[in-house]
């Protein structure tokens, strides 16, 4: 039997499952190399942790490993593969380390495959993270759909996003099927492999409401930390957000992240604040007699 300690949390409705990876003996000299080794040699464990029957298409896993420069590094993953970064997951990891007594209130650094992320745990247990520098790569990118044309920005916020606000859809739970269908069609017709998150945005007082389709074709229940970062970078590029000005990003479930940017060495560094709650502590058991011990997903990309 293989056993893995797991701690689950949710951040604004989006789940994170932390597991510990020291015993895997991942090879490499950076978190990006450890991620590549994890993807190559341990994809069955990714699937065992993230996919059914122990996980689900909406779960994001966080493999915690000792860092090279700092105490902890993290490799995020989901039902279909590894992720570059994950904002709601960073908040979940911070709350998990606090819950375990490994991190206290104050400042910390977390190594990710795309760079170090600053984390601050506040006295009220909310968590702020200073993301990797983010930017808009292209604007007014046109996508011809079956019944409309949309335009949007391609932006980096720790993951690659296509952000679109002329989608013409109401962002509400009652409209989930249309949002799923539309964002999947945009993803397909945009046809850029690196852009694996689609973010539909609608304005609201003091910020925006969003719907984010994730790479495993599940929608983010939270406002998406990297998606919020990409949006902040676009707003900053447009001169619509000043450094330090607070922006509220609301998810389809009604959960809210607050975000702002700081300019460091001429780069736009998004800061995002949210809160995670622990939901479960468990031991995952992989029984060698279980033919489905390494999990399964119906998602085919």
Q: Which stretch binds ligand PYC (CB under 6 A): 80-88, 141-149, 182-190, 262-270?
A: 80-88
Q: Is 206 helix (H, G, I), strand (E, B) or coil?
A: coil
Q: From the CB of 117, what's the least distance to ligand PYC, in Å?
A: 11
| Buried b or exposed e, range 159-177, using 16+ CB within 10 angstroms | bbbbbbbebebebeeeeee
Q: Which stretch binds ligand PYC (CB under 6 A): 17-25, 93-101, 170-178, 224-232?
A: 224-232
List the one residue from 220, 236, 270, 276 that touches ligand PYC (CB under 6 A): 220
Residue 133 binds to ligand PYC (criterion: CB under 6 A) = no
DSSP state of 134: B
User: In angstroms, what CA-CA distances link 53 with 15, 132, 140?
Assistant: 15, 33, 41
Q: Give the span between the Cα atoms of 28 and 50, in whole angstroms.
A: 23
How many Cα atoms are found within 13 Å in the side-chain-facing hemisphere of 45?
Answer: 23
> Is 214 one of the annotated active-site residues of the chain?
no
Residue 60 binds to ligand PYC (criterion: CB under 6 A) = yes
CB nearer ligand PYC, residue 48 or residue 214: 214
What end-to-end distance do the CA atoms of the chain give, in Å? 31
Q: Which stretch binds ligand PYC (CB under 6 A): 86-94, 111-119, 169-177, 230-238?
A: 86-94
From residue 11 to residue 30, what is the string marking binding to ligand PYC with x (rule CB under 6 A)? ---x----------------
Do 226 and 17 contact (CB within 8 A), yes or no? no
> Is 224 one of the annotated active-site residues of the chain?
yes
Q: Which residues are catalytic?
A: 86, 224
Give the binding site for ligand PYC (CB under 6 A): 14, 60, 86-88, 159, 214, 220, 222, 224-226
């Amino acid at each position: 039997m293989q056993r893995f300690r797991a701690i689950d949390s949710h951040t604004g409705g989006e789940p994170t499952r932390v597991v510990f990876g020291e015993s895997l003996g991942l090879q490499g000299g950076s978190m990006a190399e450890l991620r590549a080794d994890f993807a190559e040699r341990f994809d069955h464990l990714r699937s065992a942790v993230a996919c059914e029957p122990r996980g689900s298409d909406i779960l994001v896993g966080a493999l915690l490993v000792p860092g090279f420069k700092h105490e902890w590094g993290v490799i995020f993953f989901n039902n279909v593969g590894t992720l570059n970064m994950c904002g709601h997951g960073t908040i979940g990891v911070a709350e998990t380390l606090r819950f375990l007594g490994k991190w206290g209130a104050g400042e910390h650094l977390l190594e990710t495959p795309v760079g170090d992320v600053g984390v601050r745990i506040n006295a009220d247990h909310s968590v702020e993270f200073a993301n990797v520098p983010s930017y808009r790569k292209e604007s007014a990118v046109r996508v011809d759909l079956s019944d409309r044309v949309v335009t949007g920005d391609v932006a980096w916020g720790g993951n690659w996003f296509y952000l679109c606000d002329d989608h013409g859809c109401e962002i509400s739970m009652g409209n989930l099927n249309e949002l799923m269908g539309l964002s999947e069609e945009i993803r397909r017709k945009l046809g850029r492999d690196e852009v694996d998150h689609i973010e539909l945005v609608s304005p609201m007082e003091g910020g925006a409401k969003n719907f984010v389709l994730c790479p495993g074709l599940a929608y983010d229940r939270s406002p998406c930390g990297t998606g919020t970062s990409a949006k902040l970078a676009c707003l900053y590029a447009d001169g619509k957000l000043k450094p330090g000005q607070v922006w509220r990003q609301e998810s389809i479930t009604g959960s809210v992240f607050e975000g702002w940017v700081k300019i460091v060495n001429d780069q736009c560094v998004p800061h995002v604040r949210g809160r995670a709650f622990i939901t479960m502590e468990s031991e995952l058991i992989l029984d060698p007699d279980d033919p489905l011990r390494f999990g399964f997903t119906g998602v085919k990309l």
